[in-house]
Amino acid sequence: MPRPGEVVVITGASGGIGRAAARRFGADGARVGLIARGRRGLESAAREVERAGGQALVLPLDVADDKQVEAAAASVEDALGPIDVWVNDAMVTVYAEFLDIEPEEFRRATEVTYLGMVWGTRAALKHMVPRDRGSIVQVCSAMSYRGIPLQSPYSGAKAACKNFTESVITELLHHKSKVRLSMIQLPGVNTTQFTWGRTRLPKQTMPVPPIYQPEIAADAIHHAAHHKRRQIYVGIPTVMNIVCERVAPWLLDHYLARTGFGSQMTDQDLDPRAHDNLFEPVDEDRGAHGPFDGQAHSVSPLYELAKRRGVVLAGLGAAVAGAAAATIRSGD
C-alpha cells in the first residue's frame, strides 16, 4: 500500500503515460518529482498533481545525460525527502524503416529510451540501496519480447531494458536487498508519442490496435510500485505477442511483415516538420492522451485479473477443492 506523503520520481512526466502516472500518484498525496525536457508539459503536470492532492517538483532535463539524472535525484531528496518510488518512462523514437534512419537518430533514440532507463535506475539505486528500501518501475512494452517493423530503435531499446532489469534484479537478490524492481509490459497506448515522435512515414502514426488509455498503464505502474510484482502484463495483445514469439516466431515474422506497416498508420496525411521531439522537446502541453480517444479502451480485463491474482488463485483453489470433495462424496 502507498505510504502517505511518499516521494515519487517519474521520468517522461510531461505527457502520455508519465503524465497519467503523475496524476495517479498525486491522488495518494504523494510528493512527485517530474522529469522531462518540455517545461510547459511539466508545469501542467505539476498543477494536475497538486489539484489531485499531491506536491510537485518540476525538473526539466534530458535523461540521456547521467549527470543530470543524478543531480535531479539529489534535488528531489533535498526538496521532498528520501525517494520511495522511481518510475522510468522517458522515451523517444523514429518511425521509419531501418535503412531510412540515420546513425545519429538511432543513437539518440537508444540513449534516451534505453540509457535513460539505465541512468534513472542507477540514480535511484544509489539512494535506495543504502536504506535497503524502495521500488523502481520500468515502463516496458510487448516489444521487449518481440520487435515490430517501423520501430527498430524502440524495439531494440525495450528489449535491452528488459534484459538490463533482469540483470539488476539478480544482483539485488544476491545481496538480499529489499529494493524492488518491476516491469510493466504494455500494448499500444493512446499517448502523445504519436503526436510528436519523429517520423518518415507519409501518414499519421498510431498504436497497433487494440489501443488502451494511458490511465490503465498508470494504474499498473502504481500497483507494481506497491506490490511484489516482477512483471505485469497489460492487455491481451501483450500476452499474445509474447506467446506467439515463444511458440512460432517465424509465423509472427510473416504476420507482422504483412500487417505491421498498415496497422501503424492512419489515413491522415502528416507534415513531419511539425512532428519531431527527437533532439529537442516539443515544448507544448499536450496532456496524457493522444488523438485516439474514440478507439481506445479504458479497461483491460486481463490487467484487472492480474492485479487481483491472489483472489483469482484463491477462487480457483476453492473451486478445485470443491470439485475434489464432490468427487469423493460421490464415490462413498
Q: Which amino acid is at 216?
A: I
The sign of the CA dihedral 241, 247, 250, 251 is negative
Pick the catalytic residue from 95, 114, 145, 154.
Answer: 154
Is-catalytic flag, 154? Answer: yes
Would you say 210 and 237 are in contact if contact means Cβ atoms under 8 Å apart?
A: yes
**Quick one: three-class SS letters along 131-193?**
HCCCEEEEECCHHHCCCCCCEHHHHHHHHHHHHHHHHHHHHHHHCCCCCEEEEEECCCECCCH
Number of H helices, E strands in the chain: 12, 11
Nine-digit cell string for 131: 536504506
| Phi/psi at 59 (5° precision) | -135, 85
Catalytic residues: 154
